[in-house]
Amino acid sequence: MATSPSLDTRTYDGGLTRSQVVAWRNAVFVVFALSGLGISTWLGRVPSVRDILHASTLEMGYLAGGISVGSIIGVTTSSHLVARFGARRTVELAMCVVGLGMIGGGLAASLGGGFWGIIGFMAVFGYGNGTCDVAMNVSAAANERVLGRTIMPMFHASFSVGTMLGAALGAGAEAVGIPVGIHVPIVGAVIVVGTLLSARNFQSEELGHAPLEGDDVAAVSSWRSRLAVWAMPSTILIGLIVLGMAAAEGSANDWLALAMVDGYKVDNAAGTTIFFVFVTAITLARVAGSPLVDRFGRVPMLRASAVSAVVGLLLVIFSPALPLAIVGVVLWGFGAALGFPLGLSAAADDSRNAAARVGAVATIGYVAFLALPPLIGFLGEHFGLLRALLSVLVLIVVAGFASGAARERSRSRS
């Protein structure tokens, strides 16, 4: 009687063994976690940075906008870097830039680098983060295709674990008075070293697709082909999904801690702790999301996510009491969890231009990170930060209506 091969001897696309595929998967998990650690480390210290600079709410919006400008440039150019150097080398380079931005920004904050000096380093940080975002998602999508099951939300759950760790460390640093100029640069150095050690296990992002031949190879490698994805209606619709859900997640990253401090009169440590609650909710939803997506599909899960985000955000804005607002934070986190990973996974479904489509969709999503910080800062200056968050609701509703564009293509099983 014939027996099936054991998992240890099974081979995957490109002749990879299971141990190689698992090592690749685990390396992507680590890079996602380090990316989240870097972002939440800086964002968790935003209240302290505001105190150091004696900045207004509008000025803090400009500071967040500096990160967004760098990120937009990063995601816009990232597909070309991936095409030229591959996802692994692009991730390594990008995370070195992230580390440089964190080290410089942290030192500038503590040593009197001034408002514009910090913005400059945050733009560097944003460029590295945006570039890494696309490259690591391209590699993650390839690993998902090779494994033959939905794991993209799990990769983003790993990102959220990193944000949880960063938020927890930030809350601890706030509580014991560790200066920004010590805390942030140390984490930046750890991120660089961890990335360089982990990314060695990345495999080619071209695995999991039908082999390209002749004109297809030339088309994928051309700038014109990579720009042409912007003319595809599906790219724009998936981009709207990512835009709305990026707004849901990014607005909390930028403003939740400050909104709780200003709106509910909690101290800086409590504001950072509530931000930790938000990223914990995102993490739990992403861990649970993979089997739910396999069972119900992307579209129903995206629509349910939009509803949860809207309800949660309304509770945060209008709640008469802090405990109910924290319930809203949890629902907000649940709703924001799956939109970004499922949108990028849908963008990578097209085998011939995955990197270009992921880059285009991520660029549309990062418009939220670019435009919302100064907009919310301006509105918050005049109406309060909590009321300013109403601007996010429109984008979440649009994402819910556009969710049908993320419907799965048939996918082969390894």
Token pair for 348? 């990578």
DSSP label of 17: B
What tens digit of pLDDT does each residue of 158-174 get?
988 898 888 888 888 88
Provide the 3-class DSSP secondary structure of residue 209: coil
The most confident of the ranges 143-147, 234-238, 311-315, 319-323 is 311-315
**Which residue carries 């408002």 as its tokens?**
115
Q: Is the pLDDT of residue 44 over 50?
A: yes
Structure-token pair, residue 406: 């993320």
At 408, which amino acid appears? E
Mean pLDDT, the chain, as a whole number?
83
Give SS3 for 221. Answer: helix
Terminal-residue alpha carbon distance, the chain? 23
The helix/strand/coil state of 54 is: coil
* pLDDT single digits (tens) 214-269: 444 444 445 566 667 777 888 889 889 988 888 888 888 778 888 888 888 888 77
> How far is residue 199 CA from its own chain's centroid?
18
For residue 2, name the pLDDT band (cuts at 50, 70, 90). very low
Please state the φ and ψ torsions of residue 17, each to the nearest 5 degrees.
Answer: -85, 165
Q: Which of 290, 281, 412 is nearest to 336 (CA)?
A: 281
Distances 130 to 97, 114, 222, 295, 355 between C-alpha atoms, Å:
11, 24, 22, 31, 13
* Residue 317 pLDDT > 80: yes
282, pLDDT greater than 90 = no
Asked if residues 346 and 406 have their Cβ atoms less than 8 Å apart, the reply is yes
**CATH class given for the domain over 19-206+231-406:** mainly alpha
Short-list 110, 135, 84, 202, CA closest to 362: 135
* 213 — pLDDT class (breaks 50, 70, 90): very low
Closest of 291, 232, 250 to residue 133, by C-alpha: 250
CA 316 to each of CA 255, 274, 337, 360: distance values in angstroms, whole numbers, following the listed order:
12, 11, 17, 32
| Entry pTM | 0.72
Rounded mean pLDDT, 189-208: 89
Domain positions in the chain are: 19-206+231-406
Structure-token match 């993320």, residue found: 406
C-alpha span between 360 and 235 (Å, rounded): 7
Residues 6+ apart with CB under 8 A from 145: 13, 207, 208, 209, 348, 411
pLDDT in tens, 174-186: 888 888 889 999 9
Query: Do 388 and 247 form a contact (C-beta atoms < 8 A)?
Result: no
Q: Give 80-132 pLDDT, tens digit per residue.
A: 888 889 899 999 999 999 999 999 988 888 787 777 888 889 899 999 998 99
* Sequence-ordered list of residues with C-beta below 8 angstroms from that of 183, at least 6 positions apart, any chain: 41, 45, 106, 169, 170, 173
Please name the residue that has the structure tokens 């972002």.
39
pLDDT at site 67: 82
